[in-house]
């Protein structure tokens, strides 16, 4: 017990040390950026400065414009993330269930995965519409194929011994899926969700670049069009913060899941 307590205390201390160093790196970066801008080492017109971005951020917070744009982008991202991940997992299950279907669709999935989805965004928006539905389709399309391929490969790589044991007990395919395939792949599914957060944000921003009149992507593209780099950098920073928070929320859910199953990080 004492050894375990010492170990956990050391782990907590190590985590606090890492967080402190991360904040230190961030603060140093911001200070260097501001000083370089103040002393004309970099062109403030092109790179802006933390102080200018902070003033603009306060202005957008005061008039509630930021919450309107952020709310639209977050909504589009959540819808795209849920749809892309859910549909991708369902298709992956179907491929596992029907091996012949997987063999038939394999080359098509490879081709779809190789296609640059962002380049196809204008076509997808024309097909789906120029509103929120078009942006959601673009966001969903970027993560969909990767989810299918990754999840399917995870499903077929489950330990053969466990699979043969269930088959020896005359388990049905549904029982194998629900008792072995999905439970053993929960960590992999969570990893897919983490990857899809970034991919979905890429789709949302690309869609907003093309057709939206609101959202974080709209702020970035509008700022670049009028050469207002404060606005561009503010949009990029907000995008990074929100994506990080979504990622951390998934991390929290993952840690709770591990605790329930008695899994600890070493």
Give the pLDDT confidence of 138-190 residue by residue, as tens digits: 889 888 989 999 999 999 888 778 888 887 887 888 888 888 888 888 888 99
Q: Is the dihedral of CA 67, 68, 74, 79 positive or negative?
A: positive
* Predicted local confidence at residue 75, as pLDDT: 92
The residues of the chain scoring below 50 in pLDDT are: 264-266
Distances (CA, A) of 265 to 55, 186, 187, 191: 41, 16, 13, 15
Contact predicate 162/180, CB 8 Å? yes
- What value does the mean pLDDT of the chain take? 85
**For the chain, how big is the Rg over CA atoms in Å?**
23
List helix spans (H) across 115-215. Answer: 121-128, 132-156, 160-168, 173-176, 182-184, 186-210
Residue 145 contacts residue 231 (beta carbons within 8 Å):
no
Whether the full predicted model's pTM is greater than 0.85, yes or no, is no
Would you say the C-alpha torsion 88, 94, 97, 99 has a positive or negative sign? negative
| pLDDT attached to residue 261 | 65
pLDDT tens digit sequence for 117-133: 777 888 888 888 778 88
Q: What is the pLDDT of residue 266?
A: 42
Residue in the block written with tokens 């907003």: 208
How many other CB atoms sit within 10 Å of the CB of residue 208? Answer: 25
CA distance 232 to 47: 10
Name the DSSP class of 216. Answer: H
- pLDDT at res. 265: 45
CB of 205 closer than 8 Å to CB of 239: yes
Q: How many CB atoms neighbour CB 91 within 10 A?
A: 20
> Which two three-digit tokens encode residue 34?
């501001």
Please tell me the distance from the alpha carbon of residue 179 to that of residue 195, in angstroms, as a whole number.
Answer: 25
Tokens matching residue 51: 């102080």
**167 CB contacts (<8 Å, ≥6 apart)?**
176
């Amino acid at each position: 017990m004492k050894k375990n307590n010492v170990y956990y205390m050391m782990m907590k201390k190590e985590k606090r040390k890492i967080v402190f160093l991360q904040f230190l790196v961030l603060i140093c970066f911001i200070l260097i950026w501001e000083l370089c801008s103040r002393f004309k080492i970099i062109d403030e017109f092109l790179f802006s400065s933390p102080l200018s971005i902070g003033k603009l951020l306060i202005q957008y917070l005061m008039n509630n414009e930021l919450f309107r744009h952020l709310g639209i982008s977050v909504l589009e991202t959540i819808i795209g993330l849920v749809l892309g991940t859910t549909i991708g997992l369902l298709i992956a299950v179907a491929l596992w269930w029907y091996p012949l279907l997987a063999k038939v669709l394999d080359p098509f999935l490879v081709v779809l995965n190789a296609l640059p989805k962002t380049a196809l965004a204008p076509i997808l928006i024309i097909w789906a519409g120029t509103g929120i539905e078009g942006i959601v389709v673009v966001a969903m399309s970027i993560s969909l194929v990767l989810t299918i391929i990754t999840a399917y490969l995870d499903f077929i790589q489950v330990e053969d011994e466990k699979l043969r044991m269930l088959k020896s007990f005359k388990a049905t395919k549904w029982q194998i899926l629900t008792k072995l395939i999905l439970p053993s792949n929960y960590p992999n599914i969570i990893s897919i969700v983490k990857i899809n957060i970034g991919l979905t944000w890429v789709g949302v921003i690309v869609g907003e670049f093309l057709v939206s009149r609101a959202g974080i992507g709209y702020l970035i593209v509008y700022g670049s069009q009028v050469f207002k780099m404060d606005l561009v950098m503010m949009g990029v920073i907000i995008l990074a913060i929100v994506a990080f928070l979504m990622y951390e929320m998934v991390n929290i859910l993952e840690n709770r899941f591990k605790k329930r199953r008695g899994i600890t990080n070493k």
